[in-house]
Structure 1
Amino acid sequence: MRIALVISLTALTLTNSQLIYEYTHPSFEPVNRVKRDFKQSEWDEHLPKDVEEEKPDSSTNHTYYKMDIFSNRTDLMSQYYLDVKEWLKSSSPGVNGTENHEHLDGSYRKAAGANIGFKFPFYGHEIENLTVATGGFCYVGDQTHSWLAATQYIAPLMANFDTMSNSSVIMHASNSSRMVITWENVALRDNAKAGNWTFQVSLFSNGDIWFVYKDIPIPVSQISDNNHPCKLGISDAYLFVHQYSEGAPIQTKKVIHEYHRIVVPIEKIVNNTVVVLKALPTCLQFKNCGDCSTIKIDNFNCSWCAPKQSDVEPFCSDFAGLHRRRQHWVEGDCARMPGPDQCKATTTTSLSTTTPETVTAPEADLEQYKLKQLDHQVRRSGGFGRILLAVFILFLISSCVWIVYAFYNPHTPSGQLLIKYRPSKWQIPSSHVRYSASVHM
């Protein structure tokens, strides 16, 4: 079982790109779905088996990323840790950022938007902006909502941090190929005596992600998650708009479905530790049908998805359709695996639509017959609808007459029936509860 988060995705009103996010645990609903990396019976909310079985400084393939962990390696810090202040002061071309974000200074449970500076492929999906939170993580979803910590995050160390101390600062800088975000001397709001924490995340234009931990004063396992989730790793999800009413107007519900998560084992995070997430090839990175249909990559079978909607751009997808364009994949009927000539067939179809066709006499007669049949069916359905309307009006009038008669003649059987079932006796059972169910498409 995996989880789907049912939340309101109405965009929040931002003031100078600032928002306050909530951390009361939302309700999650179990959803049956196709999984990456581990079997159905192995699902664990905290640590999957592939993480628990890792050996120190080993590489683990997580389908979308390969993870390498280097614990307590002082010799690697100069290679992986970047001093943002010095980088901004340097003469390096194209470096932009801030040494102290004004909205994140002296704050708690706040987040602010930032431009990455390049197209960053996250799970193959290119993003150009993210949201930096005081809680030690970045939100990378397309929709802004209050549950930023639920999914679609990059979290070197998500916890109950604040920047109330004079020495606490959150800074970021980027050029055309790298963005660095540093949480320096932040403190746990519910355990300030533990000491100051300093760590950073680097994002690269090729999709790689580095977590670098400089100062970790206490074991991460001792961080309380009573007031704030404690997570290390990355997560992505797709948004699906479900229609749950057949009437008019159609009612919809937006649901975020998490399709993949990587958890960094907390016991390996100490001072001077580096976690490298090497981005692996995904189908979404291929931009034309020829490359998509012929490429051979590990973990995925790619196929070209050309949705029927004219306003939706075609794209390269994996066979399961688990990515942020899931709704386009489902509604475009892309689950059917096309043949080897899919690109040729697509071209032929698009060309043939511009060529007028000659309709033979029998085909023309058939079309006329179909039109007549359709007109006949429409007329029949219209007549039937009028009959139903007349019956309903007659029933309504009869009911009103009966109610008036019963009201003014309480001694009659009709009057006694009306007294017995009068509206004041109508009650909703106390055990009645309402709940929403999320169905995975």
Structure 2
Amino acid sequence: MEPAGYHHPLSPQEDNHSYYVSRVYGPGDARLRGLWVDLATANRSQVKIHGILSNTHRQASRIVLSFDFPFYGHLLRQVTIATGGFIFMGDVIHRMLTATQYVAPLMANFNPSFSRNSTVQYMDNGTAFVVQWDKVYLQGKEEMGSFTFQAALHSTGRIIFGYKEIPVPVLQISATQHPVKAGLSDAFMVLNPSPDVPESRRRTIYEYHRVELDTSKITNLSAVEFTPLPTCLQHQSCEMCMSSELTFNCSWCHILQRCSSGFDRYREEWLSYGCGQKADEKSCEDLAVGEHYSAPPESSSSPLDEDITTSTSTLFIDNLTTEGRGLGSSLHSKQASTPIHTGTIVGIVLAVLLLALIILAAIYINSHPTSTAALFFIERRPHHWPAMKFRNHSNHTTYSEVEANSQEKEGFVEAEQC
């Protein structure tokens, strides 16, 4: 009888996910030893224990990588480590941090603050970035035991999930207070006019691809290796793009000088410039001559609504508004063509008066540090990145982001005693 979760060394389970090929290795696989990164024996100058994440619950911290990491064909230079067993790969921190754009070896309601032995460690050696959730416990279910696992992001785009201690089957972990997932996800963001505030735009996140692992395969001494497959974004010329034999339907946009399937993080720009139009049987010469179309930002809403109905899932971020580059540039161009009139002069005078009041208020606060006004601003000054606490109101899950550099007091990882 072979133990549960065992796979023959010569035949790891393999799946094709269009963007990645995943291989699952069980306890008996010979390659398993080379996939786990032992942080205790690594270069101590490259390994750090994150002081805040190791002593808090439901927090996330942004980290800058020393190399460009290819994720779904996009080159990323920063990621966000979360205490909940995953790495957020997006640029925009939103209240549904756990929903899209993640690398999750085991996303669950872990609370590193429960035990002094629980830590969140990471290492960057220039070609690999490794995050390890070491001896962490589930909030409210500490009797289940501690979990130790890691995720490694390699400069080649390979992603490795390593599992050292998984005390209970993952299927037994409750998802009531926190999502339970294992896998990858990416999404693109578009800016739509807000129905409540016409001048602003609402960010909408669309998940276009997800890899969901079979959590029954996550056991002690197991691993999952993700090997990236070629994407349209890697083609730097029209000829290479049009002759591509990828499973994706690659198209070349001459205006943007970009090859794309239309579903990646640049989708809004792709549609705004009319790159989503049919270009069947067109040569690169025809595209270079014929593509002079540049649609206004508003025109992207119609084709976007048609295409999005086929996407994996959607979630709307109603409480985030932004001016957006397209919107900002159009406003500036309109203002430049308008002659200066009396209203403008009055506005300038009011702005000067407001600036003078602010300067006088600052002088007063500095000279009266114990005044009510001074205490009001001191209590509300920003100490770190804007915080978004994880609260279970309205069934929404949000994380608080902390500053990574200034408060890491734990120092380096000490080698464990044998």
Matched, 1:305 2:305: no
Instruction: Describe the superposition over 1:402-435 as per-residue Cα deviations: whole angstroms up to 9, x where unpaired.
Output: xxxxxxxxxxxxxxxxxxxxxxxxxxxxxxxxxx
Report the TM-score, using the length of structure 1 for normalisation.
0.60
Instruction: Describe the superposition over 1:63-106 as per-residue Cα deviations: whole angstroms up to 9, x where unpaired.
Output: 111111112236444211011232223xxxxxx64431122121
- Confirm or deny: 8 A CA contact 2:66 2:126 kept in the other structure: yes
Matched, 1:269 2:218: yes
- Counterpart amino acid of residue 188 in structure 1: L
Shift of 1:335: 1.9
- Confirm or deny: 8 A CA contact 1:136 1:161 kept in the other structure: yes
- The residue correspondences of 1:121-132 to structure 2 (distance < 5 A) are 121-132=70-81
Q: Distance in 1 between matches of 2:57 and 2:153?
A: 24
Of 113, 123, 134 in structure 1, the residue corresponding to residue 83 of structure 2 is 134
Shift of 1:172: 1.0
Shift of 1:304: 1.1
Q: Distance in 2 between matches of 1:226 and 1:249?
A: 36
Matched, 1:83 2:38: yes
Instruction: Describe the superposition over 1:204-233 as per-residue Cα deviations: whole angstroms up to 9, x where unpaired.
Output: 122111111010001111111111111100
Match of 1:281 in 2: 230
Match of 1:315 in 2: 258
- The residue correspondences of 1:153-172 to structure 2 (distance < 5 A) are 153-164=102-113, 165-172=115-122
Q: Distance in 1 between matches of 2:57 and 2:106?
A: 15
Identity of aligned residues (%): 36
Task: Note closer, same or farther for the CA distance 1:270–1:186 as it changes in structure 2 (3 Å cut).
Answer: same
Work out which of the two has the higher radius of gyration on C-alpha atoms and give 1 or 2.
Answer: 1
Q: Distance in 2 between matches of 1:183 and 1:86?
A: 16
- Counterpart amino acid of residue 65 in structure 1: Y
Instruction: Describe the superposition over 1:152-171 as per-residue Cα deviations: whole angstroms up to 9, x where unpaired.
Output: 10000000101121111111
Shift of 1:345: 4.0
- Confirm or deny: 8 A CA contact 1:303 1:337 kept in the other structure: no
Task: Note closer, same or farther for the CA distance 1:137–1:340 as it changes in structure 2 (3 Å cut).
Answer: same
Matched, 1:237 2:178: no
Instruction: Describe the superposition over 1:102-161 as per-residue Cα deviations: whole angstroms up to 9, x where unpaired.
Output: 221211001111122211111111111100001000000111122210111000000010
- The secondary structure found in structure 2 opposite 1:267 is helix
Task: Note closer, same or farther for the CA distance 1:343–1:257 as it changes in structure 2 (3 Å cut).
Answer: same
Paired residues in the alignment total 281
- Unaligned 5+ residue runs, structure 1? 1-55, 90-95, 308-312, 352-441
- Unaligned 5+ residue runs, structure 2? 1-10, 293-418
Match of 1:207 in 2: 157
Shift of 1:249: 5.0
Q: Distance in 1 between matches of 2:291 and 2:251?
A: 19
Matched, 1:147 2:96: yes
Report the TM-score, using the length of structure 2 for normalisation.
0.63
Matched, 1:325 2:266: yes
Task: Note closer, same or farther for the CA distance 1:350–1:147 as it changes in structure 2 (3 Å cut).
Answer: closer
Match of 1:173 in 2: 123
Shift of 1:274: 0.9
- Confirm or deny: 8 A CA contact 1:85 1:99 kept in the other structure: no
Q: Distance in 1 between matches of 2:290 and 2:272?
A: 20
Shift of 1:339: 5.5
Task: Note closer, same or farther for the CA distance 1:113–1:251 as it changes in structure 2 (3 Å cut).
Answer: closer
Shift of 1:255: 0.5
Match of 1:388 in 2: none
Q: Distance in 1 between matches of 2:82 and 2:46?
A: 16
Match of 2:239 in 1: 290
Q: Distance in 1 between matches of 2:138 and 2:280?
A: 56
Q: Distance in 2 between matches of 1:228 and 1:339?
A: 46
- Counterpart amino acid of residue 101 in structure 2: Q
Coordinate RMSD, CA, aligned: 2.3
